[in-house]
Chain A
Amino acid sequence: MKDKTKRIMNFRFDRYEDLENKLEKQAAKGLFLEECGSLLWTFKKGNPKKLKYTVTYFSEGSVFNPDITDNQQTYFDYAKAAGWNFVTQFNQMQIFCSEADNPIPFETDEKEKFNNIKRCMKKSFIPSIIVMILVFVLNLIVQFNSFQLNPIDYLSDPIRLLSSSMIAAAVIYQVYSLVTYFLWLKRSEKSIALGGECVNNSRIMYRIVDIIFMVFLFGSLGYLLFYLALKTSRFGLVLSIAQVPILMIVFWSSIKYLRKKKASATVNKLISYTVLILASFAYLALLMAFIMRFGFGISNESNYRTVDWQLSETESHEYRLYSDEIPLTSEDLYGRIDYNYYSYEKETDKTLFLSKSVYRQDSPPAKDAPPRIEYETLEPQFEFVYLLAKEHLLEIPEWRDNTTFEPIDNKIFDTVEAYQRYYENTPTGEYILFFGDRIITLNMEEPLTTKQISIVKEKLQI
């Protein structure tokens, strides 16, 4: 198997000239195309040769076809008579090569060539791009919805921000592909009407855009994997990110297997799509089960122990008790507390927009449970993020008419603006403190006393 090599080929289905040039360059280096795939292409190694390649489109071609169709065979026969040998195909794309110095051009009528390309692209290239755009846009809508529900969580989560920007980049690239294709179509139509040829679609500008996009995509993907592998052990997230590639592999394997078994194109299409749909549901179920059992995973940096907690005589639940360093503890506020099942938890997230640190000291549910405290520091990096966070924090759902945020004196915490939550006109231990460049929320069981306030100010360096 050493005489074969696989290469990643970044190609655009409609850019036949780019592909011809690439293949000719490979042949000059001694690499001859044998089979193409959606990303990995197989080349055979040999002595460098000057070969001419031509990439054409055959409207009957399909990845689901078990064999070469009769019409396709006729097409190949004509090609052979003109000195063009069939190499391989991918969907409607057909690749031929010739050893002749000046072979008969594959297409000798530009208008026919143009109409053929237009017909073939309408059949596969355009629908597949539109489907991809729809899937990605749907995903972005879901992401935007989660941003609206909680802009603070969203803007402070590097993974979510990165995956959204990757999806957004993919949408932009797909739209760009469509636009450049239609521009080519328009220009070629004009040129042919004036007796010219289909215009060149291999441009330096296009190649630069492609390279930028690929670098961004692979760079982000690499960063994402690196982040997931080293910083956290969020298997749940890894599983959800791996979803698309895994499903694609299942889909392609089904197509390939059925093709080998000589199933007809219709049967292959039907079964492969059914397999894809079933696999998507199965994967989703697996993911759900995994997340329900283990959660999204936790930060590697946390150390914790687990306790089996008896909730009632028949029920028990496993709790994680963390022992992170947190700046302000219940002991600071309420004095010495002897309790074996306290959990001290710290979660920090930082992005370009916002850093968020959440601190929590709590314990599994019990009648004699000691006081729990929770507080959060937000450091927005931009004015609009600050305003978004503020709006989100002070928002009270319409149906909750028994609770309000009342402004409190700025002198108490040396704030720019400060609020305390009231429940049915009674003050609670929930505060939102706005400073010039950061926001702190405090969530205590009881309103704080003057002495406790000074402890909070000291510990949180207010």
Chain B
Amino acid sequence: MARDKYQTLTEQMFYILICLTQESCGVDIMKKVEELTNGRVIIGPGTLYSLLDNFVKENIIIETKIENRKKNYVITSVGIEMLEKEYIRVTKLKNDYEMLIKGGVQ
């Protein structure tokens, strides 16, 4: 279980996993991420392919079915756990910032 490399998620990884809380295919993920972030986060096709491939290998997501040649994926409990961890981490960052910077100024 070499999951050290996913200790912190990149934005692209984070949004892919968010999208996969609902079963979807790669092309849909690409479009959804762009919509969700108003074009702030864009995933290139090469990167999308390698990330999905790695996620499947690490059991973070699983392949569900192939529809019209399109592979569909959905997040696993391992993936949910990672999202959760990331949420906690980012929240901690946000809280620390509010306390130390914003709170400190006042």
Contact = CB atoms under 8 A, between A and B. Distances in A.
Interface string A110-130: 001101100000000000000
Contact of A78 (B26, B42, B54, B69): B26
Given A74-B71, A109-B12, A116 B46 contact: yes
B44 A105 contact: yes
A78 B50 contact: no
A316 interface: no
Nearest to A82: B45
Contacts of A77: 26-27, 69-70
A303 interface: no
Contacts of A344: none
A418 B20 CA distance: 91
B30 A82 contact: yes
The bracket for how many chain A residues form the interface is 20 to 34
A375 to B, nearest CB: 71
A109 B45 contact: no
Contacts of A74: 26, 49, 69-71
A165 B63 CA distance: 55
B64 interface: no
Contacts of A115: 50
B80 interface: no
A82 B26 contact: no
Nearest to B5: A111
A75 B49 contact: yes
Contacts of A38: none
A81 interface: yes
Given A73-B69, A108-B12, A81 B50 contact: no
Given A78-B45, A82-B44, A82-B45, A112 B26 contact: no
A121 to B, nearest CB: 15
Contact of B45 (A70, A73, A75, A116): A75
A78 B70 contact: no
Contacts of B70: 74, 77
A70 B66 CA distance: 11
Contacts of A73: 69
A113 B45 CA distance: 11
B44 A116 contact: no
Contacts of B46: 56, 75, 78-79, 106-107, 112-113, 116
Interface in A66-119: 70, 73-75, 77-79, 81-82, 84, 104-109, 112-113, 115-116
Contacts of A81: 27, 30-31, 45
B38 interface: no
Nearest to A103: B44
Q: Which of B12, B30, B31, B46 has the most CB of A within 10 A?
A: B46
Nearest to B41: A108
Contact of A112 (B30, B42, B50): B50
B18 interface: no
Given A77-B27, A81-B27, A112 B47 contact: yes
Contacts of B71: 74
Interface in B5-49: 10, 12, 26-27, 30-31, 42-49
B49 A78 contact: yes
A78 B48 CA distance: 8
A73 B44 CA distance: 16
B51 interface: yes
B43 A108 contact: yes
Contacts of B42: 104-105, 108
B96 to A, nearest CB: 21
Given A73-B69, A78-B26, A81-B27, A106 B44 contact: yes
24 contacts: A74-B69, A74-B71, A77-B26, A77-B69, A78-B46, A78-B49, A82-B30, A82-B45, A84-B45, A105-B44, A106-B45, A106-B47, A107-B46, A108-B12, A108-B44, A108-B47, A109-B12, A109-B44, A109-B47, A109-B51, A112-B47, A112-B54, A113-B47, A116-B46
Interface of A: 56, 70, 73-75, 77-79, 81-82, 84, 104-109, 112-113, 115-116
Interface of B: 10, 12, 26-27, 30-31, 42-51, 54, 69-71
